[in-house]
């Protein structure tokens, strides 16, 4: 992995991050009760939600002559004309939730 580049791990596509700063205690409690997780280090609540464009990465298995899951995920739209601008710009802002293993440096 090269620092400063997307390694296409897909982890940022599995949660909806919401900044804790300015959130009322009642809203935070309500979201936590509905499955959100708190990332105190980065200051976000993370709502589990897998993007519908994220799919399991497959590789050819010569023994079974079929495809098996690699344990990784990939975006169906990455590198296509249909790739959303919001996704392309997501990392460019620098002030965003950074999952473990993300190649982009987080701006402070």
Q: Which residue has the tokens 């589990």?
A: 48
**Which secondary structure element, helix H or strand E, spans residue 32, and what is its range?**
helix 25-33
pLDDT of residue 107: 56
From the number of C-beta atoms within 10 Å of its C-beta (0-12, 13-18, 19+), residue 60 rates as exposed
pLDDT digit string, tens, across residues 55-77: 988 899 999 899 998 888 888 99
Domain spans in the chain, listed from the N-terminal domain onward: 11-50, 51-94
What proportion of the chain, given as a percentage, has pLDDT over 70? 84
pLDDT mean over 9-23: 88
**For the whole model, what pTM was predicted?**
0.70
Q: Are 13 and 78 in contact (CB under 8 A)?
A: no
Q: Are 51 and 62 in contact (CB under 8 A)?
A: no
pLDDT of residue 95: 59
Q: How far apart are CA 7 and CA 85, in angstroms?
A: 18
């Amino acid at each position: 992995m090269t620092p400063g580049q997307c390694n296409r791990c897909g982890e940022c596509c599995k949660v909806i991050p919401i900044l804790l700063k300015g959130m009322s205690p009642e809203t935070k409690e309500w979201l936590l009760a509905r499955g959100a997780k708190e990332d105190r280090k980065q200051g976000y609540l993370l709502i589990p939600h897998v993007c519908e464009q994220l799919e399991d990465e497959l590789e050819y298995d010569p023994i079974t002559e079929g495809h098996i899951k690699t344990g990784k995920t990939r975006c169906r739209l990455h590198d296509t004309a249909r790739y959303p601008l919001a996704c392309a710009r997501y990392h460019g802002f620098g002030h965003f939730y950074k999952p473990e293993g993300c190649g982009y440096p987080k701006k402070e």
